[in-house]
Amino acid sequence: MVILGFLCAALLGKQVAVSVSIPLVAPSTAVAVSPSLFSFSIEQDRWTDWAGSTSRNQFFFNTLDNLARLTGAPPHVRIGANSEDHTRFNAAIQATQLVFPAITTTVPYPEATNITVGDAFSQATQFLPPNTHVTWGLNLGQNNLTTAFLEAKSIVKAFSSSAMKNAGISLDAIEIGNEADLYRNNGARPSTYNITQYVRDWTTFATNVSSAAGISSTSSTKFWGCAFAGSSHSTSGFSPQSAFNQGLLKSTAGSFISTISQHHYSGSFCSGNGGLLQDLMTKSTIRGNLTAFKPDITATRALGLDYVFGETNSFSCHGAPGVSNAAGAALWGLDYALSGTQIGISRMFFHQGIGYKYNHIQPATLTRSILDGSNLPSPLPPHVQSTYYGAIIAAEAIGSSGSTRAVELSIDNIRIAGYAFYEGTKLVRAVFINSDAFLQGSATRATVHLDFNFSGSGTAPTTIGVKRLAIGHADDQSGLTWGGQTYETSDGRPSGSLVVQTGSVSAGVNITATEVVLLNFT
């Protein structure tokens, strides 16, 4: 009867209780979390629409600067993706020349199939926030050494400019080629193309590019390696460990690789529904998607290399309509990024493109619907989408100490995820995510009550400040507030009165379906 009563309460939307144990001192399993955990991968073709061409795109700058103000460091930016393998250089042009395929209802904003750039293209990087770290992608797909060489010379020229140096904007790395494991499918290489041939191609290009870009054992600029769309997670096929076995790191140029990048999307689905949104948000699905990469991460870390998801997001096809752009995706992104830290992923570069459904930020005015390509009744100015709130919450949880560590908390509930954050060894904050999708048309909204107890030595906190991500429904596409404030503003800056509740630790905290709470302990 007790069990039956518990289940009925959950089904009827009434409150159920969950006990959460939080270590007072950072356990040995707590991992260092980068202030730039939430970083961004930008589709290369329309880079100047993001940064600005002759002057700064102030909206994009503001959205990155919001994160920098919370963590003390701006997000890292990768400029590349599919269109990096379609980019050519011509020193005689200033404005970017683009050729696009026809739009479709599935892909209303396709990538350009032909991109020609001049020096102004990479020089636009000067408009990013000060101290931004940048990775730039070069064309390997078209197998033209001259193109890669000229691009590299132009990029280094830009980063050597006084504007870039004065802003502290640095070229962290160059990435040669995007998703080479797909070359055999997209016509860039023969259908027999394999990892051995990739390593040979990469080494040839990297040897030339390192000369053009001045990359060496002592330079601050290094290479990213791999950038594969998928992985065999073994020593055969396309994977980091397979590339290592084929000698990727053994050449002089290969020794300049500092980071292994892999790409991952949670699935491929080009129309959306509520069930798909719940699947995306679900705690077990998120962890299952990530843990498949453990062999790759282990092999990479064993060689002393950094490991990132250099391109990631919810669903391919630029996102699933009504899912990737929905409020519930903010919870997915937050849990996904924080869960990734626990298995050795240092940064997540969430992919963005003009008009993509899964964007955190839409930095340019849109005239077509991102969902089906239909003409909008009036132009839609730059704005943030729901997933941006996940980035803001992560930034606030990480903080600006530069020494934050985090550990996932063991919670006996399939919908509740939690993370504790430590500055040095001291417990300072915790984030809890209720991934139960409360959808439009749902009759009741379930609530979970969190009771806290503390383990380890030290004085337990007695007071908490509680900040909430308020969401009407998981499938809403706007109207979110974080601590009473909205980022859905004309300039991307937060607006509204800040709301932080104060309470007793002993009283616990309620968290409703499709909600995030951030706790500050005192």
- Pick one of 3.20.20.80, 3.30.360.10, 3.40.50.2300, 3.40.1710.10 as the CATH number of 31-398: 3.20.20.80
Considering only CA atoms, which of 85, 83, 63 is closest in space to residue 75? 63
Average pLDDT, the chain: 95
- Taking the alpha carbons of 322, 326, 331, 332 in that order, is the dihedral positive or negative? positive
Residue 231, pLDDT > 80, answer: yes
Q: What is the mean pLDDT of residues 502-518?
A: 97
Q: Where are the domains of the chain?
A: 31-398
CB atoms within 10 A of CB 13: 15
Confidence at residue 14, expressed as pLDDT on a 0 to 100 scale: 62
Query: What is the b/e burial string over 485-499, where b = at least 16 CB atoms within 10 angstroms of the residue's CB?
Result: bbbbeeebebeeeee
Considering only CA atoms, which of 514, 483, 477 is closest in space to residue 496? 483
pLDDT in tens, 345-357: 999 999 999 999 9
Query: What is the b/e burial string over 388-411, where b = at least 16 CB atoms within 10 angstroms of the residue's CB?
Result: bbbbbbbbbbbbebeebbbbbbeb
Query: What's the length of the chain?
Result: 522
Considering only CA atoms, which of 128, 150, 5, 36 is closest in space to residue 391? 36
SS3 label, residue 43: strand
Measured between alpha carbons, how far is 323 from 314 in angstroms, rounded to an integer?
Answer: 9
Confidence at residue 10, expressed as pLDDT on a 0 to 100 scale: 42
Cβ(212)–Cβ(154) under 8 Å?
no
Q: What is the pLDDT confidence band of residue 268, given thresholds at 50, 70 and 90?
A: confident
What's the N-to-C CA distance of the chain in angstroms? Answer: 39
Confidence at residue 8, expressed as pLDDT on a 0 to 100 scale: 38
Sheet with 97-99: strands ordered across: 87-89, 114-117, 97-99
Q: What is the mean pLDDT of residues 12-37?
A: 91
- Burial status of residue 59 (CB atoms within 10 A of its CB: 0-12, 13-18, 19 or more): buried
Confidence at residue 85, expressed as pLDDT on a 0 to 100 scale: 98
Q: What is the pLDDT confidence band of residue 4, given thresholds at 50, 70 and 90?
A: very low
Confidence at residue 267, expressed as pLDDT on a 0 to 100 scale: 87
Q: What is the pLDDT confidence band of residue 3, given thresholds at 50, 70 and 90?
A: very low
**Where do the H-state alpha helices sit in 214-293?**
240-245, 274-281, 283-291
pLDDT in tens, 158-176: 999 999 999 999 999 999 9
**Is 0.85 topped by the overall pTM?**
yes
Instruction: Report the alpha-carbon angle 219-224-225, nearest 5.
Output: 130
Q: What is the mean pLDDT of residues 192-211?
A: 98
Query: What is the b/e burial string over 423-437, where b = at least 16 CB atoms within 10 angstroms of the residue's CB?
Result: beeebbbbbbbbbbb
Confidence at residue 15, expressed as pLDDT on a 0 to 100 scale: 78
